[in-house]
Structure 1
Amino acid sequence: MTQTSTTPAQDGQRTVAPDNPGASPLRAWLAVIALGLGTFSFVTTETLPIGLLPSIGAGLDVSVGTAGFLVTGFAAVAAITAAPLTTLCGRIDRKWLLAGLLVLYVAGNLLAVIATSYGVLLGARVLVALAHGVFWSIAAAIAVRLVPERHAVRATALVLGGISLASVLGVPLGTMIGQRSGWHTAFAAVAAIGFVVLVAVLFLLPSLPAQGTGSLAALPRVLRNSRLRAAVAVTALVMIGHFLAFTYIAPYLEQVTGISEGMVGVLLLVFGAAGFAGNFVAGAVVGRSVHGTLVGALVLMTGSLALLWAFGDSRPAAITLLVLWGLAFAALPVGLQTWVLQLAKEESDAASSLYVAAFNGAIAVGALAGGLLVDSAAGPRAVTAVAAVLTACALLTLLLSARSARTHNPAPARTRTNA
């Protein structure tokens, strides 16, 4: 259990001290930013091969489809191993666990730098994927422990802002580096970022004793929480829908909207920029109502995808809806992660690992399903329709979960008192 102290705040609320009471606020927030940079580096590495598949395939003498397994296989390994590895690491001090994960991350990417065969590169990707699931499972929970409770949502938003930043800068810059200097150089660049995060973790993070049990028994225990199961289901549905459509947004924009190939990259940057803004908007409002934030984001995302299916052949409409989609999607990781942490405070790492498993599994499933749709007679336009259906199902699951919670935990009745 985390030891906390309380002091009366000016507004009459209790203020919970962080787990590093001797550290300055500046050092605590620098540590949170370092965790955000870590999220950025991991997500960038996960998706880095997407823009380099042709050059990787040519360099290693494999097909583009075989090279593509470097992305889907990475996501699958992270999804399968996130929950068990996180729970098995439950007794390790969080500072040193983070350091170990980052060492594995740097080593895996350096192995990719020197890889001259597909097997070696695939093995390097597996090493990083093993660290990826655990890092993402514990990063937000660690950030919350570094700052006062009233800043928990802001810290979560900063850490998860690395996801949006990876979309805006990470993958495009990595692709640019790889195209100009070779794909080995792109992996060297992300290894360098990981080393910077490792140094920051060693110097900025205090010792953070583990809060978990270190036993796989934690997984079935947290899964008995019906609302947590709903959170995992919502995550899986919405992320499958998103990656089903977004993975193939380039052929959609080119074939349905009529956007030139050169403009697709610009629009992806616009999408990422909208997402980066949406991440911090969510951080500002999710503290007031997690449920309301998630409902609003899912309604906006479902509507944007459905309208893209209906009006995607109009350039102004498609560009506007793409921006709205980016805004809506970026709010979801912050809202969902905050929801998960609220539902399982005593086993936050185990609960987060299930969320991460659902998220990464959705990348693999969504990309695979989207590919089948694009290659079918339905074509690229169908991906937005199917994605809209999946996000609508996620919204319905969220609403039913909230209704069930109100039914089983009704608000206490007000009692009248005589003056």
Structure 2
Amino acid sequence: MAAAHFAAYTFIEPSLREIPNLAHVMIGALLFSFGGAGFLGNILAGVLIHRFTKSIITAGLVALCLALVGLGWFGPQLGTDRVLVLLVIWGAAVAALFAGLQTWILRAAGSTIMTAAAIHSAVINSAIGFGAVLGAQILTVAGVSGVMLAAGMVVIVPLLIVLPQAVPQTVLKKGSLLDG
């Protein structure tokens, strides 16, 4: 998830430059909106994380995936307003994800919390570099929209890993809602 985010985030500004008739000063406003949404996503996650950790992570992954796929698939033709909506969704989702995943990992760590925190930090920092390199490789083949689309598709992998953990076990048992 983090590598996919940073692959797309590395090329967010060139992506915004492709919006037709967008004044260059608006790029800063759009990026500010992304950051503001991240701030709010972080606060919201902080308030709800202790009761809804897995739900926040699952919803964050779905929102991140949809925002990146939307930006990649439709890109600049969406216009400024719709791109702004997707950037706000992306910013809030990724901030909630970083808070949610760190909480989940540290809770699971038990007495090895310091080691888990160090490993988590190393993974995130590695994802920054790996994501940027991955995004650059995709850029040469598929352009900026391709980077966004590929990043969104990559987010499906952690979503498929987390989703079974987020669904209550009673729902998965025989005679449950899934059995019809």
Give TM class, smaller chain: 0.7 to 0.9
Once the two structures are superposed, the pairs formed by residues 5-24 of structure 1 within 5 Å of their partners are: none
Alignment-derived partner of residue 91 in structure 1:
none
Q: Does 1:384 align with 2:148?
A: yes
Cα separation, 2, equivalents of 1:251 and 1:261? 11
SS of the residue corresponding to residue 142 of structure 2 reads coil
- Cα deviation, 1:236-269, whole Å, max 9, x if unaligned, reads xx111100001100111112x2334332122111
Aligned partner of 2:11: which letter? Answer: Y
Q: Which has the larger radius of gyration?
A: 1
Cα separation, 2, equivalents of 1:381 and 1:399? 27
Cα separation, 1, equivalents of 2:39 and 2:109? 27
Cα separation, 1, equivalents of 2:116 and 2:57? 18
Q: Is the 8 A contact 1:311 1:317 kept in 2?
A: no
Alignment-derived partner of residue 67 in structure 1:
none
CA RMSD, aligned part only?
2.0
Alignment-derived partner of residue 269 in structure 1:
32
1:401 CA displacement: 4.7
Aligned partner of 1:309: which letter? Answer: G
Once the two structures are superposed, the pairs formed by residues 102-181 of structure 1 within 5 Å of their partners are: none
1:394 CA displacement: 1.1
Q: Does 1:394 align with 2:158?
A: yes
Alignment-derived partner of residue 341 in structure 1:
106
Q: 2:67 aligns with which of 304, 308, 324?
A: 304
Change over 3 Å in CA distance of 1:264–1:280 after alignment to 2: same
Q: Is the 8 A contact 2:58 2:166 kept in 1?
A: no
Alignment-derived partner of residue 51 in structure 2:
288
Once the two structures are superposed, the pairs formed by residues 187-336 of structure 1 within 5 Å of their partners are: 238-255=1-18, 257-258=19-20, 259-312=22-75, 313-315=77-79, 316-336=81-101
Q: Is the 8 A contact 2:57 2:96 kept in 1?
A: yes
Cα separation, 1, equivalents of 2:78 and 2:23? 14
**Mind listing any 5+ residue stretches in structure 2 that lack a counterpart?**
174-180
TM-score, length-scaled by structure 1: 0.38
Aligned partner of 1:254: which letter? Answer: R
* Sequence identity percentage: 36
Cα separation, 1, equivalents of 2:74 and 2:85? 11
Cα separation, 2, equivalents of 1:292 and 1:402? 6
Cα separation, 1, equivalents of 2:49 and 2:147? 29
Aligned partner of 1:252: which letter? Answer: S
Cα separation, 1, equivalents of 2:163 and 2:122? 22
Alignment-derived partner of residue 367 in structure 1:
132
More relative contact order, 1 or 2 (CA 8 Å, 6+ apart): 2
Q: Is the 8 A contact 2:69 2:149 kept in 1?
A: yes
TM-score, length-scaled by structure 2: 0.86
Cα separation, 2, equivalents of 1:240 and 1:377? 18
Cα separation, 1, equivalents of 2:49 and 2:82? 28
SS of the residue corresponding to residue 274 of structure 1 reads helix
**Mind listing any 5+ residue stretches in structure 1 that lack a counterpart?**
1-237, 411-419
Q: Is the 8 A contact 1:311 1:318 kept in 2?
A: no
Q: Is the 8 A contact 1:244 1:368 kept in 2?
A: yes
Cα separation, 2, equivalents of 1:359 and 1:276? 18
- Cα deviation, 1:306-338, whole Å, max 9, x if unaligned, reads 111222221221111111111111101110111
Alignment-derived partner of residue 174 in structure 1:
none
Cα separation, 2, equivalents of 1:373 and 1:262? 27
1:406 CA displacement: 5.3
Aligned partner of 1:299: which letter? Answer: V
Alignment-derived partner of residue 74 in structure 1:
none
Cα separation, 1, equivalents of 2:132 and 2:102? 22
Cα separation, 1, equivalents of 2:108 and 2:129? 26
1:400 CA displacement: 4.0
